[in-house]
């Protein structure tokens, strides 16, 4: 059957689901796993939702699709901006399928705002802020607003009352599932996908309580997944037995030990200076600065010819600064636990450069950095540390209201009535699996095999 139903659970770890199945908290998922392929999957670098779902939709790594984080900067002006779907450099799954004549429904996936035309319906996800401007066709937004549909949970509620926030999460989830079935019943979709962001929101505020077996919040955490499981049971009953069914997540989760403010470290080490106390934007950066950081863990050299007021020349000076920062950061220790913070640091081109850029790098042509917008260094923390991009904080390490954070290597994928590749693979390869299920050429531009 050349159709597929996809349910995405943002930030849900493979290891968590394995445990909940073993504890009989998710009997419907247990039944599904018995008839499907179920595997651990890697995210992408960095493992944040906008980057990971861009990789899912395009079948490509960030170096191809051009999204490296929630926030980007224009090196010419040093202005910050939030990259949206119109910044993607590779065609998406939903566009390719639409052009192949497939009927497409896609709801709430990050990096789908503003919505692009599809052969069907597209409802924006995270980063969309007004549903009446976040759908294709446009009139769907008016319908959803009347139904009380919510794009994303209001996380500000968690700061004042966790009980109110928890009930709000359930309300957002239930409205999303109701909307899913409303559109499912309208026609025979070839590609039907719903993304649940509420799992990620639950984890950011409740993960530690679950890990520490809090007398109240641990059980509420599990109740949320029991609710998810009931909806999985409804999916199993309502979709055709022979229809491919995929469940997946975009990254894993773990207890947040500390937030780490890399710009504070760069400032303390003399690489980053400001024109005034308590800077608010990159325009407050002193021209003598050598480097700055954007979330999560991306470091940019203040390079002449690329950055406004760049101070570091290409060639030897550029390479020396990169290696110096890299070596120092790899030795960074969090004082309270005496644990190292950074697991690895990649040169940007080792992760993101392709084709002619790669040839130039092999030939030791450091001018490539001027013409690329990817980070010069990419830091991968040990699990439990979240590398923030705030320009100024009073401390290098802090504990905040968040108590869960992302991991790179504990996403999951499940597929019934289809074949998963052998061995470990990343979310970027999911597109090729979907094309295969739909009998569409999986060599379309951007598809990663």
Classify 18 as helix, strand or coil.
helix
Confidence band for 370, pLDDT divided at 50, 70 and 90: low
Task: State yes or no: pLDDT of 208 exceeds 70.
Answer: yes
What pLDDT is stored for residue 190 in this prediction?
98
Is residue 362 within 8 A of residue 350, CB to CB? The reply is no
Phi and psi, residue 412, nearest 5° = -140, 160
Task: State yes or no: pLDDT of 444 exceeds 80.
Answer: no
Task: State yes or no: pLDDT of 200 exceeds 60.
Answer: yes
Question: Which residue's structure tokens are 């061995």?
Answer: 423
Long-range contacts of 111-120 (CB under 8 A, 24+ apart): 111/50, 111/53, 111/54, 111/57, 111/67, 111/84, 111/85, 112/57, 112/85, 113/84, 113/85, 114/84, 114/85, 114/86, 115/85, 116/85, 116/92, 118/94, 120/189, 120/191
Q: 331-343: per-residue pLDDT in tens?
A: 999 999 999 999 9
Task: Please compute the mean of the pLDDT values over residues 418-431 and round it to a whole number.
Answer: 95
What pLDDT is stored for residue 359 in this prediction?
46
Q: 102-117: per-residue pLDDT in tens?
A: 999 999 999 999 999 9
Q: Which two tokens stand for residue 428?
A: 């970027």
CATH number of 4-256+407-437, picked from 2.60.260.20, 3.40.50.150, 3.30.2010.10, 3.40.720.10: 3.40.720.10
Task: State yes or no: pLDDT of 189 exceeds 80.
Answer: yes
Q: What stretches of 290-447 show up as alpha helix (H) in DSSP?
A: 316-329, 348-352, 356-362, 368-371, 430-437
Confidence band for 124, pLDDT divided at 50, 70 and 90: very high
Task: State yes or no: pLDDT of 24 exceeds 50.
Answer: yes
Please tell me the least confidently modeled range out of 46-55, 288-297, 366-375, 435-444: 366-375
Mean of per-residue pLDDT scores for the chain = 94
Higher-confidence position of 362 and 133? 133
Confidence band for 214, pLDDT divided at 50, 70 and 90: very high
What pLDDT is stored for residue 362 in this prediction?
42
What pLDDT is stored for residue 129 in this prediction?
84
Higher-confidence position of 368 and 118? 118
Sorted by where each begins, the domain ranges of the chain are 4-256+407-437, 262-398
Q: 48-86: per-residue pLDDT in tens?
A: 999 999 999 999 999 999 999 999 999 999 999 999 999
Task: State yes or no: pLDDT of 356 exceeds 50.
Answer: no
Task: Please compute the mean of the pLDDT values over residues 380-386 and round it to a whole number.
Answer: 98
Task: State yes or no: pLDDT of 184 exceeds 70.
Answer: yes
Task: Please compute the mean of the pLDDT values over residues 146-151 and round it to a whole number.
Answer: 96
What value, to the nearest 5°, has the Cα angle with vertex 231 and ends 230 and 234? 95
């Amino acid at each position: 059957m050349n159709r597929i139903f996809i349910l995405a659970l943002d930030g849900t770890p493979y290891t968590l689901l394995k445990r909940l199945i073993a504890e009989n908290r998710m009997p419907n998922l247990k039944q599904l796993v018995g008839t499907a392929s179920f595997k651990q999957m890697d995210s992408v670098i960095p493992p944040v939702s906008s980057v990971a779902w861009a990789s899912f939709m395009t079948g490509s790594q960030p170096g191809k699709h051009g999204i490296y984080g929630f926030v980007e900067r224009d090196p010419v002006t040093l202005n910050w901006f939030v990259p949206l779907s119109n910044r993607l450099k590779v065609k998406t799954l939903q566009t390719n399928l639409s052009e192949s004549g497939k009927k497409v429904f896609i709801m709430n996936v990050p990096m789908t705002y503003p919505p692009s035309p599809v052969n069907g319906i597209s409802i924006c996800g995270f980063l969309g802020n007004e549903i009446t401007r976040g759908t294709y066709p446009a009139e769907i937004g008016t319908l959803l607003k009347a139904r009380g549909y919510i794009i994303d949970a209001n996380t500000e509620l968690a700061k004042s009352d966790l009980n109110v926030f928890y009930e709000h999460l359930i309300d957002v989830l239930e409205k999303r599932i109701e909307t899913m079935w409303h559109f499912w019943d309208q026609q025979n979709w070839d590609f039907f996908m719903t993304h649940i962001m509420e799992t990620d929101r639950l984890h950011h505020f409740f993960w530690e309580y679950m890990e520490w077996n809090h007398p109240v919040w641990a059980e509420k955490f599990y109740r949320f997944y029991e609710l998810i499981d009931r909806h999985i049971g409804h999916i199993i009953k309502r979709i055709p037995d022979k229809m491919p069914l995929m469940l997946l997540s975009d990254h894993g989760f773990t207890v947040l030990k500390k937030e780490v403010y890399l710009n504070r470290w760069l400032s303390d080490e003399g690489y980053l200076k400001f024109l005034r106390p308590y800077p608010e934007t990159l325009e407050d950066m002193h021209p003598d600065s050598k480097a700055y950081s954007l979330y999560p863990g991306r470091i940019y050299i203040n390079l002449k010819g690329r950055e406004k007021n760049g101070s570091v020349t290409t060639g030897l000076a550029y390479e020396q600064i990169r290696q110096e920062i890299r070596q120092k950061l790899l030795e960074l220790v969090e004082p309270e636990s005496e644990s190292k913070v950074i697991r690895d640091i990649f040169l940007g081109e080792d992760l993101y450069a392709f084709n002619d850029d790669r040839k130039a790098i092999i030939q030791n042509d450091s001018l490539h950095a001027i013409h690329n917008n990817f980070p010069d260094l990419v830091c991968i923390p040990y699990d439990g540390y979240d590398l923030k991009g705030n320009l100024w904080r009073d401390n290098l390490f802090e504990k905040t209201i968040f108590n869960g954070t992302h991991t790179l290597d504990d996403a999951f994928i499940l597929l019934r009535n289809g074949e998963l590749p052998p061995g470990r693979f990343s979310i970027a390869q999911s597109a090729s699996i979907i094309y295969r299920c739909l009998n569409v050429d999986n060599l379309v531009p951007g598809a990663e095999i």
